[in-house]
Amino acid sequence: MTGAPRRPRTTSHARRATISALALALALCLAAAPAAHAQADLADARLEELMTMGVTSVARRPQALNDAAAAIHVITADDIRRSGATRLTQVLALAPGVEVAHVSGAITAVTVRGFNQQIANKLLVLVDGRSVYTQAFSGVYWDMQNLMLEDIERIEVIRGPGSTLWGSNAVNGVINIITRSARDTIGGFGTIATGVEERTHAGLRYGWRMGEYGAMRVYAKREGYDASVTLDGRGAGDAFRSERIGLRGDWDLPHGDRITLAADHYRGGVGVAYQPTPTVPASRLLSPSGSFQGAFVLGRWQRALSLGSDVSVQLYHETFTRDEYSRIEDRTTDIELQHRTPVGDTQDLVWGVNWRHRVDASTSSRFDVFAPATADQSMFSIYGQNETRLLQGKVRLIVGARIENSYWNRWELQPTLRAIGAPDERTRVWASYSRAARTPSRLDRDAAARLPALGVTPGVAIHGNPEFRSERVDTFELGWRRRIGSQLGLDATVFHSRYDRLRTLRNWVTFSPFTANVQFTNAMEGSTSGAELSALWTVSPRWRLVGNLTLFNAALHDLDTPGSDAEGWAKGASPRTQAGVSSYIDLGQGWSLDTRLAYVGALRRPNNESLVPDARVDSYLDATVRVGWRVDRHLELALVGRNLAAARRLEFVSELGAGVTLNQRSVYLKASYAF
């Protein structure tokens, strides 16, 4: 390709360093294995406990993971601590079927089951029941989710539709992040980390009891990262930092009442790589620098009415401002009522109503983004799901549906039908059908961005489509779980999804003035299919292995322009194969060794492929090593190396015009102290 940037190369010194690091990690694992067999259990839970841990995201009530009729994976607090991660997106890479790719600075592309983008629009993300999916652009601003990782109790990752219980936009998955109760964080805790590529990260938390029934914690976090580099090795100018402060209180009151109050304030720099290029008109819309700030307050009341029955009300309000392509101010208020009750001796019913109101405003000194510039919208939905136990509980049938009146005053029906059976105590087989919708964003309908021509470079005009409708998916899944002996657990899922009314682009050129025009349309359809396999092997009481394999294929068709860029990017911007193996070893005397090897397949046609060598992103192998030492019950030290398999690598190309940058190897030292 003429003028294409050269493919980044790893120096021989870097290759030797990588091989040495991997060899050392392997040697330590092998050396530790006999000792691990010989020593007693210190921390790892038994296999049965791991496979039957409680989850709430599938049925909106507590149930054992093994009994969930969905493809679900749980990332525990211990997994997070031992992952070597410093930000949330790095943690999510532990889950099977989740695609996580570096874009630039703090910007990460995250999706489940394909369609990856800088702002992927088919994944719903919740933090303690609060949706962080933005309706202005349809997606999640991951750099704004700068949570204190040590406060996360678990992350439940559902692959497949979840719109019946969680609402629109849970098309291909739901990520539910559940933080720890204030009752579990009494006392003080501080952490600090610094190293190469990882600037200083610091977090501080203090919790105390409030009377006989309650507890409160306050916390603060600051993080920063060095700039990444471009394909030719120059600094990308996308260094970033962020800060967050917050509080949470929990009360367990007499007569079965529970109250939770939480509030956060956050701010930071976007860390976008600003590299305008004529071949990507959207890159001209970017600001050379960006920032964000926001705050939320959340309250939840729950009352136990009887054994197996409860009612809850949750209310939250969030406001944020983000300055990136333009200045967006967004305010959201959400209230939800939920009731859970048994029906007779063999059924459990969950139902609820949800109302959400949002206001946004777009301002820019360079160009308009939306027309009209402000929006005042509301959404209302009612949902219900009933579970029936058959054959003395060996078979369970789940039927549910959500009826939603969207922000655009269109009704969406999103049903689900699920069944799970227990042929024996160690085996579960489940099947499901679900429909979900991705409702139009403001960008889809109201986009009105225009930039004038520059010399021979045409102007840019991005048009919304007032007739843009919700994207829809019908997904069929079949799953199997099996516990083999006391040491091995297997989990397998196959799926097939049929999509229609997918977003694609209509392009045309006008000459007075000279302008490249783009409009969003619902002109693509097709299917995706795949298989996901995960395994958990407790080799010994002190050594645990976790592996996963994901196979994915997309067959999509642009009905208006067959073979279009939008069609090619939708099919080619996600890898067909992903695999990973994590090893957790307790070495004794407070020492631990944790390693992870991951393989990510090539992106055969990434977004804006003209910007990268050979118009593709090559497959790569990733390695993470963490050596931890718990000095005493107060202090823990850890040395972590991430991205060890290459000094730098290309992982993704943005669809929105952010510059192409490389993810770099990092090493850091972390200290945590409880008091």
Q: What is the pLDDT of residue 156?
A: 97
CA–CA gap between residue 264 and residue 187 (Å, rounded) = 20
CA–CA gap between residue 204 and residue 191 (Å, rounded) = 7
Residue 537 and residue 487 in contact, taking contact as beta carbons nearer than 8 Å: yes
**Tens digit of pLDDT for each residue in 590-615?**
999 999 999 999 999 999 888 888 99
The C-alpha torsion from 512 through 515 and 521 to 523, rounded to 10°, is: 100
**CB neighbours of 452 closer than 8 A, spacing ≥ 6?**
459, 513
What is the secondary structure of 296-336 as a DSSP string?
Answer: EEEEEEEEEEETTEEEEEEEEEEEEEEESSSEEEEEEEEEE
Of 207, 180, 149, 99, residue with least CA distance to 554: 99
Q: Phi/psi at 84 (nearest 5 deg)? A: 80, 10
CA–CA gap between residue 374 and residue 571 (Å, rounded) = 34
Residue 432 and residue 476 in contact, taking contact as beta carbons nearer than 8 Å: yes
Q: What is the pLDDT of residue 160?
A: 96
Q: What is the pLDDT of residue 13?
A: 46
Strand stretches in 512-613, DSSP E: 514-540, 543-558, 577-588, 591-600
Three-class SS state of 165:
helix
Q: How far is C-alpha 514 from the geometric centre of its chain's CA atoms? A: 40
Can you list the residues of the chain whose pLDDT is less than 50? 1-6, 8-15, 17-44
CA–CA gap between residue 328 and residue 361 (Å, rounded) = 6
How is residue 479 written in tokens?
């799953």
Q: What is the pLDDT of residue 279?
A: 64
What is the DSSP-derived secondary structure letter of residue 385? E
CA–CA gap between residue 390 and residue 309 (Å, rounded) = 20
How is residue 392 written in tokens?
């003395």
Q: What is the pLDDT of residue 29?
A: 46
This prediction has a pTM of: 0.91
Per-residue HEC secondary structure of 35-47 comes to: HHHHCCCCCCCCH
Give buried/exposed letters for 464-498 (b at 16+ CB in 10 A, else e).
bbeebbbbbbbbebebebbbeeeeebbbbbbbebe
Environment class of residue 140 by beta-carbon count within 10 Å: exposed (0-12), middle (13-18) or buried (19+)? Answer: buried
How is residue 540 written in tokens?
């010994």
Residue 103 and residue 109 in contact, taking contact as beta carbons nearer than 8 Å: yes
CA–CA gap between residue 263 and residue 274 (Å, rounded) = 33
Identity of residue 371: A
Spell out the domains of the chain, with CATH numbers in brackets. 12-674 (2.40.170.20)
CA–CA gap between residue 34 and residue 507 (Å, rounded) = 63
Of 212, 159, 41, residue with least CA distance to 494: 159
